[in-house]
Structures are given as C-alpha cells and as structure tokens.
C-alpha cells in the first residue's frame, strides 16, 4: 500500500477502505508518513468529503491510536457530554454535579481553552488546590466513591487526533465536517463512556456558523456513536450570543456556583436541564424527559447538586470553601463596570467579539503554549431582550493590567448593542 496512491484515490473522489484508513492513521502516528503527504490528503478530504462509513472508520482508527480507557470497573452506565465550544459555556461545571447528584456516574475528560472558547480544565484550575491530573486508578475510584470526577485528557489519548488537528490548524482544513466529527468522537470513544450527549453550537461564537452545517455535523456524530455501540444523542444550540453571563475562568466558576444556588443565567440552566435529561435517560436513572427534569430540579432545589459540587472539589484536592466564599477565587486588581445611564434593553451581544476581548485580557490563549490569567474576564449584566435598569452594570471588565482594563472598557461598547425599545428574546435551542 502506498500513501501516494491513497492521496490520488481521495483526490479523484474515491472511497477509502477501513484497511487503507488504518494504514494511514497507524503510519502517521508512528511517523512513517510525512506531514506533507497527510496535508495533501486532508485537503483532498476537505474538497471531496468522506462517506459516513469512511468517517466512522477514521474515528475508530484515531480512537485506538493510543490509550483507550476501560471504565468497566465504574458501577452504572457512564454518560459523557461534549460541547463543540463557545463563549460563556459553563455547562459542565453546573451539569456534572446535577447529574451526579441524581445518581448517574460522571467520569469526564475535558480540555483547555483555545482562542475565544473557554476550557473546563482551566476553569477548574481557578479553584485553589484543584487537581485535574489524576491516575486512572484515582479517577475510577473517585467516580465510584463520589459519583463524579473531571480530569484533563491523558497524554496518550488519541495521539493521531492531536497530530492531525495540529496539521489541520495550519493547512486551512479545520472546518471540514467529517474531520470535525471524527476528531470529537474519537476522543469521546477513547474516553470510555457508554453513552454520549452532544451540544453542537451554531452561530457567530461557534465553529459552525450556519444551522444546516450544525445539523449535519450533529447527525454525523450521532450516527458514528450509535454505529460503534455508544448510545449517542445531540442537540443544536444557539451561540450567536454568549450562553451564560460570565466570560473568564474564575468568573465562570462563580457563575456555576450561583446557578447551583438557584440564581445566575436562565439560559445556562436550561441547556443544563436539556443535556442532563438525556444523560439521566441514557444512564437508566429516568424513563422520560419529565421524570429526568423533575429529578434535576429536585437536585437543585434540595441543595444536593451544590453539595455534590463541594464534594467533587474536595475529592480532587480543591478548597471547597470557594462555594460559600468566592473571594477565595483569583481576584482581578482592576474592575471597570459600564453603568447604564438610563433603563435600556440589550439588543445584541456579539459572542465571538466578546470571547476574543476576554482572551486579549488574558482569560484565553491565542496559542496552545500561552499562559492564562485565571482572574480576568467579563461579567455581563444581562442577556439579549433583558432590561438593564439605570445605575446597574451593562457589563463589567475584570483585568490585572490597568491599561488593558481601560482599553477593554471602551472596546466592549462596540460589541454590546442597546435599545430603548423592548427586544425579542432569541431562540436558544434549535433541536
């Protein structure tokens, strides 16, 4: 088998077999096949696409290119959740303790932020003492004992995907639906879950900009998951606007705590209820949506979800006092509130621009090696369609550099549009 022939086959619209895809992924992972040939193949895939069967074969080849977690020692049906990335998406920090408090085991591997999108692991690291690297033994033991553990991805999980993604990033082949689907699903499958719930974001702050492409990606990932024996469901949700109110690591932990206490963003909670319902049904904890939502509501209102969050923090070495004393989280030196001079409605929140603004304050990374500032970011005063009363903050800038604080205070006014007239609330969930 020659790589040249396989590039030619795909360039001319041919369908690669399982054996050919296995040859490509194995050879590239072991450094037998050079970057320039894989780059040519990626561009051929970008223009020619892949069949669902090809995409499924690619997913499994990448999933088994390194370690595959065996979670069979964890009691119960393990259900993982994945978001395709967005702004102020604090879902995991709220959803995981809610679901665990209902009795479904949460054994989750999460990533770090890159660009305008935040990462769960960075957010957790803003909690003093929090350990996000556990041995496989500790990970499994914590889930069996506490019902929940969230860690960073192991170094040898899907090494083929890491190499391919780095190459896609510099060859303009990131936004290919088969390549996105196989990248996401290979990691989920290698992470060992029995079921997978997907939140596919669409809009200005998401990688998928239009609804048709987002639905196509969602369907492809569901088909891949179900074809390899993982019960998989997906929803498409709106990322034209930030999901929650907080953009930035410690700020998002603070918002997660507020939501678990019954306050905070209603949109964030609704997406958590949507995904949590599927997780409980797949895990066999609830028979339908009504029962699942009732259990999740009870976990919140009874305080069980908040207690589970504290338990989870303690179990991974973190200081659970942050739940009752948020001043223990990293604090920014400079706080710049933009105060409403009259009653106004929020007309628009430009998700991508707000995410990039938070990144430039230091809350995110332009490159993977960048160091982030856990304290900085933006807190929004409301969502599109909501009214901000005179004297209340439209948004607040948190910074550790005075010049950046002053700059961001002026810059944010370009990305939040206001109206004196009532504004209709946008659609949150498409399907």
Active site residues per annotation:
82, 161, 168, 183, 187
In whole angstroms, what is the distance from residue 431 CA to residue 428 CA?
9
With b meaning 16 or more CB within 10 Å and e meaning fewer, what string describes 151-180? bbbbeebbbbbbbbeebbeebebeebbbbb
3-state secondary structure of 26: helix
| Cβ-proximal residues to 216 (8 Å cutoff; 6+ apart), any chain | 177
DSSP state of 154: P
Name the residue with tokens 């499958």: 189
What is the distance of C-alpha 278 from the center of its chain?
17
Q: Identify the bridge partners of residue 346 per DSSP, sorted by sequence position.
A: 418
CA 233, CA 110: separation in Å to the nearest integer? 19
Question: Which residue carries 């088994």 as its tokens?
Answer: 64
Tell me which residue has tokens 């949700």: 237
Task: Label residue 237 exposed, middle or buried (CB < 10 Å: 0-12, 13-18, 19+).
Answer: buried
CB 4 within 8 A of CB 38: no
What residues are paired with 360 via a beta bridge?
Answer: none
CA distance 311 to 309: 5
Q: Which residues contact 103 (CB under 8 A, 6 or more apart)?
A: 76, 147, 283, 285
Query: What sign does the dihedral 428-91-120-221 (CA atoms) show?
Result: negative
Sequence length of the chain is 431
Do the beta carbons of residue 146 and residue 100 sit within 8 Å? yes
Q: Please report how many Cα atoms fall inside a 13 Å half-sphere around the Cα of residue 349, on the Cβ side.
A: 32
Sole residue written with tokens 């920014």: 332
Three-state SS annotation for 355-366: HHHHHHHHHCCC
Interstrand relation of 231-238 and 195-202 (parallel, antiparallel or unpaired): parallel
Residue 192 CA to residue 196 CA, distance in Å, equals 10
Asked if 377 and 362 count as a contact pair (C-beta separation under 8 A), the reply is no
């Amino acid at each position: 088998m020659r790589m040249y022939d396989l590039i030619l086959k795909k360039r001319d619209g041919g369908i690669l077999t399982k054996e050919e895809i296995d040859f490509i992924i194995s050879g590239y992972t072991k450094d037998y096949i050079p970057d320039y040939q894989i780059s040519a193949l990626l561009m051929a895939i970008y223009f020619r696409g892949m069949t669902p069967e090809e995409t499924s074969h690619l997913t499994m080849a990448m999933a088994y290119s390194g370690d595959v977690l065996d979670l069979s020692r964890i009691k119960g049906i393990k259900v993982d959740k994945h978001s395709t990335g967005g702004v102020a998406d604090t879902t995991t920090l709220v959803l995981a303790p809610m679901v665990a408090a209902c009795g479904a085991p949460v054994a989750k591997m999460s990533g770090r932020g890159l660009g305008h999108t935040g990462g769960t692991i960075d957010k957790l690291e803003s909690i003093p003492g929090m350990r996000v690297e556990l041995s496989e033994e500790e990970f499994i033991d914590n889930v069996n004992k506490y019902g929940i553990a969230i860690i960073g991805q192991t170094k040898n999980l899907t090494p083929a995907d890491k190499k391919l993604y780095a190459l896609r990033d510099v060859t303009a082949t990131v936004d290919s639906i088969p390549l996105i689907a196989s990248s996401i699903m290979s990691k989920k499958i290698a992470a060992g879950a029995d079921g997978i719930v997907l939140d596919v974001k669409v809009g200005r702050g998401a990688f998928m900009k239009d609804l048709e492409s987002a639905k196509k990606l969602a369907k492809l990932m569901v088909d891949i998951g179900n074809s390899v024996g993982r019960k998989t469901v997906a929803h498409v949700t709106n990322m034209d606007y930030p999901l929650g109110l907080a953009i930035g690591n410690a700020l998002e932990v603070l918002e997660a705590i507020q939501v678990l206490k019954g306050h905070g963003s209603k949109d964030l909670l609704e997406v958590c209820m949507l995904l949590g319902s599927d997780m409980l049904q797949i895990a066999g904890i609830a028979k339908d949506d009504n029962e699942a939502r009732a259990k999740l509501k009870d976990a919140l209102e009874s305080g069980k979800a908040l207690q589970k969050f504290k338990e989870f923090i303690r179990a991974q070495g973190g200081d659970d006092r942050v739940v009752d004393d948020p001043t223990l989280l990293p604090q920014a030196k400079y706080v710049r509130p933009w105060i409403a001079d009259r009653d106004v409605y929020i007309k628009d929140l430009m998700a991508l621009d707000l995410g990039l603004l938070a990144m430039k304050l230091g809350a995110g990374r332009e490159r993977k090696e960048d160091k982030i500032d856990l304290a900085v970011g933006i807190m929004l005063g409301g969502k599109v369609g909501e009214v901000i009363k005179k004297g209340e903050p439209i948004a607040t800038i948190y910074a550790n550099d005075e010049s950046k604080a002053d700059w961001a205070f002026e810059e944010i006014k370009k990305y939040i549009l206001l109206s004196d007239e009532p504004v209709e609330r946008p659609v949150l969930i498409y399907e």
